[in-house]
């Protein structure tokens, strides 16, 4: 134990994992807790992976990933989001968005550099920033602002040590989105303070109203923005472990140095499957989006009817209900809900202090399961009203 590094000793277990150890011991649980699609990877994408193995594509690829895949990724970002990147210099294929995030922090942070993290947020940001020697400054997002970043909120976090801004829209755990207009107000601040933005756009395909916007859409700061994305959520490919990073070549080339020594190259089979996903998978994405939208409408309505105020998220596959009307804490609510009604959700506090009084409910489950879960939750909440 005393041989372990100080950073690792300080690392807390994930608030999600801790909770799922409890859930595993109870039978007949409906889990609205996990952050992954309930859909399996579309069959033609799986087949492309299988075929690549049959073809003997069982070797390393180029460090940055197959050029054909990088070209497909850049074409896709141009086609879907009207953003231009060069496959040869501005794109790195990684082991999930997770590796892309970790590499960015390691490539950019010196000890003591501050990273502004919009929160409640994905559980990996804080520990990976710490491992890279950075210091997290939380920017709390508010229910009444639909969990968007405001210019005032951003300004309040900036110090002379600020180096990075970590954002995630559409967001886990809130489902919050930022429109181009919302971003417009942040751009001059980011430019003035020369902040590098890491934009985790892993849920960019899961937007139910409006269009996906990115800070990279603003030419005056495009060179300050690194985009993290991947195949896990859009194409239901969590287990393939494939993601990517897009950004200015100066930073990308530094990140590739880390990737080359730590990883070599992302999994080859997954890269072939991903090429197929980008070439022929848009129809699958569109179908899954429609399914999620119907579930979202049902579940948001259900929670609001129970007297738990829930904003209608425009993206991702989570809702973030305010459970304070019950008088319970987030932890108490989730623990009692699973024990008394066998429904698993995650306490908002697992995503940072800003999640106090909220819970995260994932709707990446079938409509039938969601209906049954809603009825169980209503039974649980009833006595508090
Ligand atoms: N970013 C966010 C916001 C996520 O929710 C997740 C997964 O839950 C990831 C990144 C990691 O995804 P990947 O499977 O691409 O590593």
The predicted model scores a pTM of 0.96
Q: Which atom of ligand 1 is nearest to the CA of 101?
A: 10
CA 172 to centroid of ligand 1, rounded, Å: 9
CA 69 to centroid of ligand 1, rounded, Å: 20
Mean pLDDT of the chain: 96
CATH of domain 6-41+283-384: 3.90.1150.10
Between 23 and 351, whose confidence is greater?
Answer: 351
Q: Which of 96, 174, 245 to mutate to test the pocket of ligand 1 (most atoms within 8 A of CB)?
A: 96
CA 94 to centroid of ligand 1, rounded, Å: 12
Q: Residue 18: what pLDDT?
A: 65
| pLDDT band, very low/low/confident/very high, at 16 (cuts 50, 70, 90) | confident
| pLDDT band, very low/low/confident/very high, at 306 (cuts 50, 70, 90) | very high
φ, ψ dihedrals at 225, nearest 5°: -115, 130
Q: Which of 37, 38, 233 to mutate to test the pocket of ligand 1 (most atoms within 8 A of CB)?
A: 233
Assembly ipTM: 0.99
Q: Which of 35, 94, 97 to mutate to test the pocket of ligand 1 (most atoms within 8 A of CB)?
A: 97
Domain boundaries, the chain: 6-41+283-384, 43-280
Residues within a 6 A CB radius of ligand 1: 35, 96-98, 122, 168, 172, 200, 202, 230, 232, 238, 243
Residue nearest to atom 4 of ligand 1 (CA): 122
Q: Is 43-280 a domain of CATH 3.40.640.10?
A: yes
Q: With 80 as the cut, is the pLDDT of residue 22 above it?
A: no
């Amino acid at each position: 134990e005393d041989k372990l590094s100080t950073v690792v000793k300080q690392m807390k277990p994930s608030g999600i994992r801790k909770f799922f150890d409890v859930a595993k011991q109870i039978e007949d649980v409906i889990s609205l807790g996990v952050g992954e699609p309930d859909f399996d990877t579309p069959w033609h994408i799986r087949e492309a992976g299988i075929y690549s193995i049959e073809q003997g594509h069982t070797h390393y690829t180029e460090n940055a990933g197959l050029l054909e895949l990088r070209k497909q990724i850049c074409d896709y970002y141009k086609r879907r989001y009207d953003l231009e990147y060069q496959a040869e210099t501005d794109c790195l294929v990684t082991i999930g968005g997770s590796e892309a995030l970790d590499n960015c922090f390691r490539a950019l942070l010196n000890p003591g550099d501050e990273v502004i993290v919009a929160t409640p947020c994905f559980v990996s940001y804080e520990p990976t920033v710490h491992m890279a020697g950075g210091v997290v400054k939380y920017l709390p997002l508010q229910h009444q602002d639909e969990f968007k970043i405001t210019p005032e909120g951003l300004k309040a976090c900036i110090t002379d040590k600020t180096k990075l801004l970590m954002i995630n829209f559409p967001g886990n755990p809130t489902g919050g989105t930022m429109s181009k207009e919302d971003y417009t107000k942040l751009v001059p601040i980011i430019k003035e303070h020369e902040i590098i933005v890491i934009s985790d756009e892993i849920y960019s395909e899961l937007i139910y109203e409006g269009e996906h916007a990115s800070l990279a859409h603003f030419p005056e700061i495009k060179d300050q923005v690194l985009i993290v994305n991947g195949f896990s959520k859009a194409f239901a490919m969590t287990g393939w472990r494939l993601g990517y990073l897009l950004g200015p070549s100066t930073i990308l080339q530094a990140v590739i140095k880390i990737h080359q020594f730590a990883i070599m190259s992302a999994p080859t089979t997954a890269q072939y499957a991903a090429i197929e996903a980008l070439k022929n998978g848009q129809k699958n994405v569109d179908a899954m989006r429609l399914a999620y939208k119907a579930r979202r409408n049902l579940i948001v309505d259900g929670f609001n009817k129970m007297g738990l105020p829930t904003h209608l998220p425009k993206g991702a596959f989570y809702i973030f209900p305010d459970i304070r009307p019950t008088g319970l804490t987030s932890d108490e609510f989730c623990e009692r809900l699973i024990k008394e009604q066998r429904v698993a959700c995650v306490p908002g506090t697992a995503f940072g202090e800003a999640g106090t009084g909220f819970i995260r409910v994932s709707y990446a489950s079938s409509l039938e399961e969601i209906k049954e879960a809603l009825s169980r939750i209503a039974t649980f909440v009833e006595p508090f009203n």
